[in-house]
Every structure is written in C-alpha cells, then in structure tokens.
C-alpha cells in the first residue's frame, strides 16, 4: 500500500514538473529559442526643401489655403500631352504642368529659385505619395506677398491630375513616409501643422494641430531680503541724530 502511494506521488510530481517546463518562457513572453518579431520602424519627417527649413520656417498654419476635403473632385488638366509610360511625371516639363493648372496659372513663367528670399518657383520634388510606385510631382511657388502655394500632381490613366492645393505664410513642407505635413505661420501667432494622406482619390487632411507659444514672463521686482543691520537697512549717524531730536521747531 505504501509503495503504491509513493508511486502515485512520483507520477504526480513528474506531471507537475513537465507542466512547469511547458509554461516557462522569457520575461518578453517568448519561448526558449523563439525569435523576436521585427520592430516596425517609424518614418521620420524629411524636409522637401531644406534651404527653406533652415531659413527658420516654424510649424504653423497650413489651413490658410484650401482644405483638401473642400476641393472639387480632381479632374485631369487640359492641354497637356499624355503622361509617358516610361518616366511618368518626371519625364514631363514641370513648367508646362504649372501653366496648364488654373490654380497655378499666376505662377506660370516665374523664375526658378534655389534659396528663400525672393519670389519664384522652388525646385520640383518627386515622391511617391499614392503607394503605386510612381512618384507624384510636388510644386511650390513663393509670391511677393510672402505667401507660398503648394500643388501636388499625380498621373491617372495617362492624364495629369491635381490632388492637392494649399498655401500659407512662411510655409515648409515635410514628407513623413507617404504623407505630407504642411507647416506655416498663422496670422494670430499660432503654430499649426496639417497632415495629408492619399485616400484613393486625392490628398486629404487626417490631422490639424494648432499650438500657441507661451508668452514670456515679465521680470518681477524682488523684495528686499537683507537682514537687519545690513548696510541696506542700517541708519546713518546723521539720520539717527535727527530722529532723536525730533522735528525742528519753527520760529514766529
């Protein structure tokens, strides 16, 4: 009887040990020898025109222009040749596209600029924003009033289509992965950043953040913390003598 009980106890202990081994794992939740899953790398903002970012453009009001969702459905630009199969938009002349766009018509024929400080059209930028592997054309023009207008074009069925138009003052544009972040300075002193992403039809707003800079504190006069008897609080001998004599009597 005792031997049978000892045998059952040994079987129970073996089962518990096996269960403990099966449930063991590393603090990370992975079993022994199990590879860790890859960590997703978050994209970092990349300035499309670094010279303008170095000029001190702060985050700001990109909503000074038209919001993407408020625009009419995008339609192909008229008067342009078909987008080449090889090269896409990069094989076309950016100036011709700007001149064919009614919203950018005022920038047609403007001089190319490579640095901030004067009016003109910034160098064209090509970046895939739709995820189809073909880069879109991004154009920005600085005008005399201090505003900057930005337009984005894509190719659809061999046609050039404008998918974003916006603008603002002291404007800078960043790419975060396939998204665009447009920053500019608001007239009320706020700083605002608007982020656009491809929705299958055009670049639509997905976030609009506005921040105000804290006002600088005015310096306050500090109280006199000098201890009694210090030079700043001690009376001079002349002042002490006048205080003991009291006020002088006036004559008749």
Span of 3-7, 42-46, 135-139, 149-153 with lowest mean pLDDT: 3-7
Higher pLDDT, 158 or 37: 158
- Domain extents in the chain: 46-212
Confidence of residue 224 (pLDDT cuts 50, 70, 90): low
Task: In whole angstroms, give the CA distance from residue 4 to residue 10.
Answer: 10
Q: Kindly report, residue by residue over 148-164, the tens digit of the pLDDT.
A: 999 999 999 999 999 99
Q: What is the pLDDT of residues 130-144, one digit of tens each?
A: 999 999 999 999 999
Q: Is the pLDDT of residue 85 over 80?
A: yes
pLDDT band for 210, please (50, 70, 90 cuts). confident
161 vs 212 pLDDT, higher one = 161
Q: By C-alpha distance, which of 183, 211, 206, 210 is closest to 195?
A: 206
> In the predicted model, is pLDDT for residue 58 greater than 50?
no
Longest dimension (CA), the chain: 134
> What is the predicted pLDDT for the residue at 75?
93
- CB burial of 109-148 (b: ≥16 within 10 Å; e: otherwise) equals ebeebeebeeebbbebbeeebbeeebbbbbbbbbeeeebb
Q: Is the pLDDT of residue 12 over 60?
A: no
Q: How far apart are CA 186 and CA 212, in angstroms?
A: 10
Percent of the chain past pLDDT 90, that is, above it, reads 48
Cβ proximity of 74 and 183 under 8 Å: no
Query: Quick one: how many helices (H) and strands (E) in the chain?
Result: 4, 9
Q: Where does the pLDDT of residue 31 fall: very low under 50, low under 70, confident under 90, or very high at 90 and above? A: low
Task: Give the residue with greater pLDDT, 81 vs 209.
Answer: 81
Q: What is the 3-state secondary structure (H, E, C) of 141-185?
A: EECCCCEEEEEEEEEECCEEEEEEEEEEEEEEEEEECCEEEEEEE
Pick the residue with more confidence: 112 or 72? 112
- Enter the tokens of residue 97: 């596209």
Band of the pLDDT at 26, cuts 50, 70, 90?
low
* Mean pLDDT across 103-120: 94
Instruction: Give residue 43's pLDDT.
Output: 77
In angstroms, the CA 243 to CA 241 distance is 5
Could you tell me which of 68, 249, 247, 83 has the C-alpha nearest to residue 165?
A: 68
Q: How many CB atoms lie within 10 A of CB 104?
A: 22
Are the C-beta atoms of residues 143 and 153 closer than 8 Å to each other? no
Using CA atoms, how far apart are residues 183 and 196, in angstroms rounded to an integer?
11
Kindly report the pTM of this predicted structure: 0.66
């Amino acid at each position: 009887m005792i031997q049978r009980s000892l045998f059952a106890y040994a079987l129970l202990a073996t089962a518990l040990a096996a269960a403990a081994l099966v449930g063991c794992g590393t603090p990370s939740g992975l079993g022994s020898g199990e590879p860790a899953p890859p960590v997703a790398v978050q994209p970092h903002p990349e300035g499309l025109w670094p010279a303008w970012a170095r000029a001190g453009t702060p985050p700001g009001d990109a909503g000074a222009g038209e919001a993407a969702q408020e625009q009419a459905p995008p339609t192909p630009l008229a008067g342009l040749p078909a987008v080449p199969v090889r090269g896409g938009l990069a094989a076309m002349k950016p100036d011709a596209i700007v001149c064919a766009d009614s919203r950018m018509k005022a920038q047609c024929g403007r001089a190319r600029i490579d640095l901030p400080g004067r009016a003109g059209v910034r160098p064209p930028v090509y970046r895939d924003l739709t995820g189809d592997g073909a880069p879109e054309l991004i154009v920005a023009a600085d005008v005399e009033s201090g505003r900057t207008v930005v337009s984005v074009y894509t190719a659809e069925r061999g046609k050039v289509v404008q998918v974003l138009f916006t603008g603002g003052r002291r404007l800078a544009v960043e790419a975060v992965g396939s998204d665009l972040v447009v920053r500019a300075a608001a007239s009320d002193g706020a700083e605002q950043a608007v982020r656009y992403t491809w929705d299958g039809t055009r670049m639509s707003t997905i976030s609009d953040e506005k921040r105000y800079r804290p006002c600088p504190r005015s310096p306050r006069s500090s109280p006199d913390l000098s201890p009694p008897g210090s030079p700043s609080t001690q009376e001079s001998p002349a002042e002490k003598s006048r205080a003991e004599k009291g006020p002088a009597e006036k004559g008749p």
